[in-house]
Amino acid sequence: MARLAGGVSLAAVSEDVRKRGRFGMECGLDRDNLLVARWFSAAVWGVSRASRQMDARRRIGVLVDHVEPVVSMGLAAVLEAHADLSVLNVFASAWPRADVAICDYDRGLAAALAAAKSQAPRRGPSVLIVSHVDTEGDIRRALDAGVVGYLLLSTSVDDLVTAVREVCDGSRYLSREVAGRIVDSLMQSRLTQRELQVVQLVSEGASNKVIASTLNITVGTVKAHMRAVLDKLGAANRMQAAAAASRRGLLPGRLSQSVLGLSSRPESEVLS
């Protein structure tokens, strides 16, 4: 800490000036040091006041809308500990004032889709998802919908705060684990829309004839799509393909009982 002649602390002088507005002999200062102290006090107080005003202008409005009450309380408590973050009450009227909305997967996806369809001049807060959902397909679906940040529930406090600040500034932010899922998915062949439709129907227990009728294509075309699906997913049979697609989050609703039900049906029946 800087000190004036005689070992008097500048901070002590500044505090004395602020509280009592006078210089006394108890400070032990001569005239020259009194002038320095007066200047220092004014400078420190001015910088402090300007800093507080700047912080007030830069405060990020954060709305926490998570389906799990305990998670919501924890997120709010963490964020409120930071001076540049302001946690807003979860009311419809608070959404337009929020810079960032932290949501669970379903609410975040819904908010992003609604914002994308909105005709309002301001599309609403940037959506940051904090969820346990970590499959490739679900993450990609959220990002394609307009979600700009994605964290897993296991994320650190520092990661959460950094994510809020980054998405508020207009950047995307993915936690290390989520980014890893995306990188892994980029290294794998993506299924076409038709192939996804085929494997979805396979997961529901549909035979080739039913799939052909549903999609208005021939059985031969269904078999061709199925061969491509097996190759891309590295699966040996239909059941493995459906399970692999579900694990990667490529199927709506993820793994259903119908996938498990395939094992009880004769192979000749589902291939026909």
In 3D space, the residue among 161, 147, 146, 159 whose CA is nearest the CA of residue 87 turns out to be 161
- Report CA dihedral (149, 57, 61, 142) to the nearest 10 degrees: -20
Instruction: Mark whether 244 and 127 lie in a shared domain.
Output: no
For residue 65, give the CATH number of its domain. Answer: 3.40.50.2300
Instruction: For 107-130, write each residue's pLDDT tens digit.
Output: 999 999 988 887 666 678 999 999
**68: alpha, beta or left? (left if phi > 0; alpha if psi -120 to 50):** beta
125 in Cβ contact with 100 (< 8 Å): yes
Mean pLDDT of the residues in the chain: 75
149 in Cβ contact with 174 (< 8 Å): yes
pLDDT over 80 (residue 4): no
Domain that holds residue 36: 10-57
Instruction: Mark whether 86 and 149 lie in a shared domain.
Output: yes
Instruction: Mark whether 182 and 251 lie in a shared domain.
Output: no
Number of compact structural domains in the chain: 3
Under 8 Å CB-to-CB from 117, ≥6 apart: which residues? none
Q: Is residue 116 part of a domain?
A: yes
pLDDT over 80 (residue 267): no
Instruction: For 231-258, write each residue's pLDDT tens digit.
Output: 888 888 898 888 888 877 787 654 333 3
Instruction: For 34-58, write each residue's pLDDT tens digit.
Output: 443 443 344 334 433 433 444 445 6
Instruction: For 215-230, write each residue's pLDDT tens digit.
Output: 999 999 999 989 988 8
pLDDT over 50 (residue 65): yes
Instruction: Mark whether 67 and 179 lie in a shared domain.
Output: yes
Q: With 0-12 CB in 10 A as exposed, 13-18 as middle and 19+ as buried, what is 216?
A: exposed
Distance CA 107, CA 119 (A): 20
Q: Is residue 2 part of a domain?
A: no
Q: Is residue 118 part of a domain?
A: yes
Distance CA 221, CA 217 (A): 6
Residue 116, Cα to own-chain centre: how many angstroms? 17
